[in-house]
């Protein structure tokens, strides 16, 4: 049965893992940049506000990044207090101008004390997982003074969350494929360490295919799904995100 599912999902990966997928997906946002730092910052911000309608996510992510000008990295590292006022009035769902201002400060703090965002995940990764590294990244990100409500924007898998958005962000930056969808610009980490971003669509399809029995979409569900996907492809388990998401969104499987 697993082999039949693998053949089916491999076909769907080939169908949806192509540049045509990019246009209406949040991953289109970091594709506007070429510099590593700009890509990872824009990817992190776009992933952070990735809930709701995909068209609205993409529209608002571009609007957010337009505030920062041509280079998000340059804006973050060289901004003055008056520049933060450009964030005033921004909001999307529950992510507002105060959140955005904190994110600018937190990212500057990270780039000031670490080589880049990747360095944190490298430091805290294990050979087969990045879930613990997400936990440490979150602690470092929220090291500055902030309102506790802001912490909901970066989920913690060690606190039981599926952490869909940040797992998606990691897939974008670590996974490299021939089609040019995922970036693969973080070279010190491997696709084999990735977990599939789990949302209502991918989880629903996984349950229909017998890859997931847990009813809650949480960290334990991610672990269960990971086990199945790693058996099908130990080197690139997160590629099946394209298949599960595509089957759920586009085919209403």
Confidence band for 1, pLDDT divided at 50, 70 and 90: low
Between the CA of residue 199 and those of 139, 163, 167, 221, what are the distances in Å? 23, 9, 11, 10
Distance (Å, rounded) from C-alpha 82 to C-alpha 48? 24
Residue matched to tokens 């789990």: 198
Between the CA of residue 120 and those of 8, 11, 125, 132, what are the distances in Å? 36, 35, 8, 11
Query: Which of 133-137, 186-190, 245-249 is predicted least confidently?
Result: 245-249
pLDDT (tens digit, 9 = 90+) per residue, 90-122?
Answer: 999 999 999 999 999 999 999 999 999 999 999
pLDDT (tens digit, 9 = 90+) per residue, 207-220?
Answer: 999 999 999 999 99
- With pLDDT > 90 as the criterion, what percentage of the chain qualifies? 92
Task: Taking residues 189-198, report their average pLDDT.
Answer: 98
pLDDT (tens digit, 9 = 90+) per residue, 224-239?
Answer: 999 999 999 999 999 9
- Looking at the DSSP assignment, which residues form a beta bridge with residue 161? 218
In the predicted model, is pLDDT for residue 77 greater than 90?
yes
What's the mean pLDDT when you consider all of the chain?
A: 95
How would DSSP label each residue in 95-164?
A: EEHHHHHHHHHHHHHHHHHSS-HHHHHHHH-BTTB-HHHHHHHHHHHT-S---GGGGGGS--GGGTB--H
pLDDT (tens digit, 9 = 90+) per residue, 143-158?
Answer: 999 999 999 999 999 9
């Amino acid at each position: 049965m697993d082999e039949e599912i693998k053949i089916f999902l491999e076909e769907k990966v080939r169908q949806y893992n192509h540049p045509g997928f990019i246009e209406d997906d949040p991953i289109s946002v970091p594709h506007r940049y070429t510099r590593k730092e700009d890509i990872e910052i824009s990817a992190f911000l776009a992933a952070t506000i990735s809930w709701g309608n995909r068209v609205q996510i993409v529209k608002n992510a571009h609007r957010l990044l337009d505030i920062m000008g041509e280079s998000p990295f340059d804006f973050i590292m060289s901004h003055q207090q008056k520049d933060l006022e450009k964030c005033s009035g921004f909001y999307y769902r529950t992510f507002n101008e105060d959140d955005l201002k904190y994110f600018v400060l937190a990212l500057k703090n990270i780039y000031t004390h670490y080589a880049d965002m990747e360095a944190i995940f490298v430091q805290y990764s294990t050979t087969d997982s990045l879930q613990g590294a997400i936990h440490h990244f979150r602690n470092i990100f929220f090291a500055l003074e902030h309102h506790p409500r802001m912490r909901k924007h970066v989920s913690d898998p060690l606190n039981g969350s599926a952490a869909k958005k940040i797992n998606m962000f990691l897939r974008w930056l670590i996974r490299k494929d021939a089609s040019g969808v995922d970036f693969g610009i973080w070279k010190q980490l491997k696709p084999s360490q990735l977990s599939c971003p789990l949302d209502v669509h991918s989880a629903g399809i996984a349950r229909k295919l017998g890859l997931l029995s847990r009813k809650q979409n949480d960290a334990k569900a991610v672990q269960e799904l990971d086990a199945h996907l790693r058996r099908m492809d130990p080197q690139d388990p997160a590629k099946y995100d394209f298949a599960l998401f595509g089957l759920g969104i586009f085919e209403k499987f």
